[in-house]
A = this chain, B = another copy of it.
Amino acid sequence: MGEQSKPGGRVLREVTAGGRQTWRGGNMLYPVPAVMVSAARAGERPNIITVAWAGTVNSDPPMLSVSIRKERYSHGIISETGEFVVNLVHAPLARACDYCGVRSGRDVDKFGELGLTPVVIEGVDAPAIAQSPLNLACKVTQVIPLGSHDLFLARIVSVSVDERYMDEKGAFHLNDAGLVAYSHGTYFELGKKLGTFGYSVKKRKAGAKRPRKA
């Protein structure tokens, strides 16, 4: 978190035709999820770290990755235990999510400070955050040092969801939760719905307008 690139002084080339500017390489892939990662070492209070460098990496088996700076408190815990929980963040958790990205678990009891509840989740000893709409229990399969960060690849061993987003037919409406995305220094709630997967090739009703070219 807080690692957005600053354009200042890194212009390589101004391309006036087409109105583009070229910079040196920097981290500008947005929006990304801002998730709260919880972990605990036996006999110590559990901790939460906010991770924006996170993503899904494999469908079958289900796997995700989180990148964590080596000097962060949770880096040691996760390296040692090989377990963590990814807790999705919705608007009511946004402030807590930001807090867990700027304060260290070495100094602060984040669960206590934020009034969050650590709860048991199937498959790992790491605690989940009860207030999150969805928790992913993860077991580390590989750690890849990349420089500033270590990349933790992990199997998702179980998922815990808040039943308030299930309807009476058992369908789960995650997008009713008001999930938060992080983009270039700012947290956003998801906004206007643009379409569902495959909408660009769905058959149009007779008389409907042709899709515009982008």
Contact = CB atoms under 8 A, between A and B. Distances in A.
A177 B164 CA distance: 33
Given A65-B55, A213-B115, A153 B159 contact: no
A71 to B, nearest CB: 12
Contacts of A172: 7
Number of copies: 2
A134 B28 contact: yes
A105 to B, nearest CB: 15
A32 B197 CA distance: 13
A43 interface: no
Q: Chain A interface: which size bin?
A: 35 or more
Interface string A164-180: 10100011101100011
Given A29-B86, A59-B148, A187 B198 contact: no
A142 to B, nearest CB: 8
A60 B148 contact: yes
A57 B151 contact: yes
A153 B158 contact: no
A156 B25 contact: yes
B159 A185 contact: no
Contact of A158 (B24, B32, B103, B160): B24
A204 interface: no
21 contacts: A5-B62, A5-B159, A7-B161, A20-B130, A20-B160, A25-B137, A27-B56, A29-B136, A30-B33, A31-B31, A53-B56, A58-B146, A65-B65, A95-B199, A95-B214, A146-B153, A186-B197, A187-B196, A187-B197, A190-B190, A190-B191
B93 A157 contact: no
Interface string A21-47: 111111111111101000000000000
